Structure 1
Amino acid sequence: MTSASSSDPHTPELLTCDVLFTGVGGGQSPGGVVVSNGVIAATGHPDTLRASYPHARERRAGEVIAPPPVNAHTHLDMSAYSFRALPYFRWIPEVVVAQSAKRGMSGTEAGADTLARLGVGGVGDIVWSPDAMPALLAREDLRGVAYFEVLGPFPETADETFRQARERVEGWRRLERPGGLRVGLSPHTPFTVSHRLMRLLTEYAAGEGLPVQIHVAEHPSEVELFRTGAGPLWESMRRLRSPASFSEVIGRDPAPDLTPVRYLDELGALVGRPTLVHMVNVTPDDIARVSRAGCPVVSCPRSNAHLECGTFPWVAFAAAGVEVALGTDSVASGGGLDGREEVAFARRLYPDLDPRLLVRAAVKGGYRVTGLPTPTLRRGEAWDTRYVW
């Protein structure tokens, strides 16, 4: 912990900002914090603080004062990739596949080191390689959730895939430490995980209290796939030796009014309140279903923009009372791991949205998604320079 800089540490200092989020309530704009002897003396509107502390030296601290943000969704194993902004169906072969040799343990360690240097409040990481999980759980400088990613579009192999995943998860849970990373599950997507495997994984997670993240409705082609059973997304799946028909994967026929969210809801996969990631290409009915189920969502604004997936309908989700958090996705798609940069990008992307909503999402939304207590900036608490973004 470090105190605010001043020539006389006994003289209070008033630090002002555009947005103050103390971890409680909805935030203040503009805001300020009075720091005295390295301790928070007061928070609130700058005018009120000036009147209460007339002798405090005043300086603008930054755009935001808040607890450290949480990166609620990322793929640390891709942290050694070179970033390229490309349309989704070019990005997969030209970035993900072309740089696959860079994916793995070294990338995970590099990404985790970066998050630790950034002083991140927490992380929700998708773990692709089983070898990376023990190393992540052993780290003492990160907390949050490490979600083991499971794929399996073939219904006939669902039981064996689930058995292997459960065995691994139960072994890793013995490595969890108080205050460290927890183990979670990530059924990859509604179309790369068969209906039987999706049900097995989500029912198991709900029964065990395991946190879950699922990538849902990222690209417009996903909507087309559930509506028609065809399209560019399915063609790319077929090249990966997927089953002959989409109906085999989801256990029902596509339909004009079927969406990925409705499919998951009717399958029962939302009962355990999994976190749904991306959620860009959704309908009003989808948002209503998510709200009724109590599922939080994670938006990745930079990744969605870079891959030309569309724009997350923030206002509609907020109006429905859905908890929203922010993530960076991978370095390869988002360009970095800093949640503060994600907020800055989102402020430009949503110029008419109250910036307090964005800051709250990066802080309280992220802590809630990862099951962590939200730090608070309160009178008597030690001041930390990480609170200035």
Structure 2
Amino acid sequence: MSKTSTRREVLTARWIVPVQGEPIERGWIRRQGETVVEIGSGSPGTEATDFGDVAILPGLINAHTHLEFSMFDQPVGQPGIQLADWIGQVIAARGATTVAQRVSAIRKGILESAKAGVRLLGEITTPPIEYPDIDPSVLDFPLETIHFCEVIGLSAQRSAERFAAAESHAICDGSNSGPTQLMEHAAISPHAPYSTLPDTIDRCVRWSAKHRRPLAMHVAESPSERELLINGTGPMAESLKRLGVFDESLFPQATTSKKSPFVELINQLSACHRGLLVHCNDLRQSEIDTLSQFANLSVVFCPRTHRHFGFDRHPVAQMAKSGIKVALGTDSRASNPDLNLWGEVQFLLNHRTDLQPSSVIAMATQNGADALGRKDIGRITVGSQPGLIKVATNASSAEQLYRDFATGGNPVCIG
């Protein structure tokens, strides 16, 4: 459905899942164009389109992905591969691709995401890169993308070059407004604490705060990252040496707490406008406690990528208990079999029974939208424009509904 459509319609189904609030049995949604104007239960009192035995949900939010790696048909490396080894293989594969091939991969990833019912992507962009022009009419869904321009480098020169490239990518061409106007969906991403200078991280944090744009950063992705930061040793250190970028003056990092470099990093990132800490596979309770103090910081968990690397059990339950907002992402096809965010939902529903099913659905919708600063999507509320998906179910209770979500088929886009 076009964003400019003013068509009025009422949709009914066995279940409506607004996310903000309990699932509504025999519910209905009234909308004008894409905007929800009313929701309720029982008879809507007017002619309606009945979708039957399905649950209607808001479109999904993929808070973290790398579309340029959609060229991979299967994850890189065998399950349990060391992250450091995986990084080396991915860098080599990317270096062998052309710009045209990367643009083609991005197009493939966009189409796959839209088909999977994703309403918004938190996309890591490696400028300079071109994005394909895709006619919205060929998409299954009204998909939007936030471009997190990646800043990476362990030398002052490299860092300055990548920051300048990020700023250049983020700036509009000036045809409609001033030449310093930022793109509507521009954001920034200092890559990781093992690949970005602390001063550059500060620079990215200041940029985020100044322009009121979100910031994303890979944090505590593996135990080898912690070993590098604390001791300057381990698989990550060896990987940096193989790449020719290891600097003994940077690792180990001089921190006030040798036991937890991530506490200092979290405090550093808290000065940004809105921050997404990606993966956080190796965060410990003291670090989770620190993170929980900052309402502007969220975690993005990529469950099937976590499984690919064989990491220890993710502390997502402790995060949720601490009040941290956790969103879901797919990472990329370099670490995940596909970009189907519903696959992440089903993985958690089937493997993390310590999580409330309703909270898992929130991770795939509302939490991601909030983390990315979009209160208008990720939930079905009056005034929202969530895009709608449907999932087959004949459940007669909310408990059975979530069981159907865990074992049933993929979502189908309504629009």
Q: TM-score range by the shorter chain?
A: 0.7 to 0.9
1:282 aligns with 2:283: yes
Structure 1 portions without partners, runs of 5+: 2-10
What is the DSSP-based 3-state SS (H/G/I as helix, E as strand, rest coil) of the residue aligned with 2:365?
Answer: helix
How much has 1:243 moved relative to structure 2? Answer: 3.5
For residue 270 of structure 1, what is the amino acid of its counterpart?
S
How much has 1:101 moved relative to structure 2? Answer: 3.3
How much has 1:302 moved relative to structure 2? Answer: 0.4
How much has 1:33 moved relative to structure 2? Answer: 2.5
**What is the match of residue 119 of structure 2?**
121
Alignment of 1:1-389 (within 5 A): 14-16=13-15, 21-25=17-21, 27-28=22-23, 31-34=25-28, 43=40, 60-61=53-54, 65-84=56-75, 85-89=78-82, 90-94=85-89, 97-98=92-93, 100-102=95-97, 104-132=102-130, 135=132, 141-155=142-156, 157-171=158-172, 182-245=185-248, 247-248=249-250, 252=254, 256-259=258-261, 261-266=262-267, 268-272=268-272, 273-294=274-295, 295-372=297-374, 373-374=376-377, 376-377=379-380, 386-388=389-391, 389=411
How much has 1:35 moved relative to structure 2? Answer: 6.9
What is the DSSP-based 3-state SS (H/G/I as helix, E as strand, rest coil) of the residue aligned with 1:146?
Answer: strand
How much has 1:286 moved relative to structure 2? Answer: 1.0
Does the CA-based 8 Å contact 2:216-2:278 persist in structure 1? Answer: yes
Q: CA 1:109 to 1:331, structure 2 compared with 1: closer, same or farther past 3 Å?
A: same
For residue 353 of structure 2, what is the amino acid of its counterpart?
P
For residue 309 of structure 1, what is the amino acid of its counterpart?
F
Does the CA-based 8 Å contact 2:317-2:354 persist in structure 1? Answer: no
Does the CA-based 8 Å contact 2:378-2:386 persist in structure 1? Answer: no
Q: 1:67-87: CA deviations, max 9, x gaps? A: 011111100000011213532
Q: 1:125-163: CA deviations, max 9, x gaps? A: 001242235x47997953141111111112465445434
For residue 320 of structure 2, what is the amino acid of its counterpart?
A
Does the CA-based 8 Å contact 1:306-1:334 persist in structure 2? Answer: yes
For residue 202 of structure 1, what is the amino acid of its counterpart?
V
Does the CA-based 8 Å contact 1:221-1:231 persist in structure 2? Answer: yes
Determine what percentage of the aligned residue pairs are the same residue. Answer: 26
What is the DSSP-based 3-state SS (H/G/I as helix, E as strand, rest coil) of the residue aligned with 2:324?
Answer: coil
How much has 1:43 moved relative to structure 2? Answer: 4.8
- TM-score w.r.t. the length of structure 1 is 0.79
What is the DSSP-based 3-state SS (H/G/I as helix, E as strand, rest coil) of the residue aligned with 1:213?
Answer: strand
Does the CA-based 8 Å contact 1:227-1:255 persist in structure 2? Answer: no
How much has 1:170 moved relative to structure 2? Answer: 2.9
Q: Distance in 2 between matches of 1:12 and 1:165?
A: 43
Greater Cα shift, 135-144 or 332-341: 135-144
What is the DSSP-based 3-state SS (H/G/I as helix, E as strand, rest coil) of the residue aligned with 1:132?
Answer: coil
How much has 1:96 moved relative to structure 2? Answer: 5.4
Does the CA-based 8 Å contact 2:79-2:310 persist in structure 1? Answer: yes
Q: Distance in 1 between matches of 2:128 and 2:176?
A: 14
Q: Distance in 1 between matches of 2:339 and 2:303?
A: 12
Count how many residue pairs are aligned between Structure 1 and Structure 2: 362
Does the CA-based 8 Å contact 1:303-1:333 persist in structure 2? Answer: yes
Q: 1:219-248: CA deviations, max 9, x gaps? A: 111122222121111110111111331x42
**What is the match of residue 7 of structure 1?**
none
Q: Distance in 1 between matches of 2:134 and 2:317?
A: 36
Q: CA 1:174 to 1:182, structure 2 compared with 1: closer, same or farther past 3 Å?
A: farther
Q: CA 1:221 to 1:250, structure 2 compared with 1: closer, same or farther past 3 Å?
A: closer
Does the CA-based 8 Å contact 1:151-1:193 persist in structure 2? Answer: yes
How much has 1:198 moved relative to structure 2? Answer: 1.1
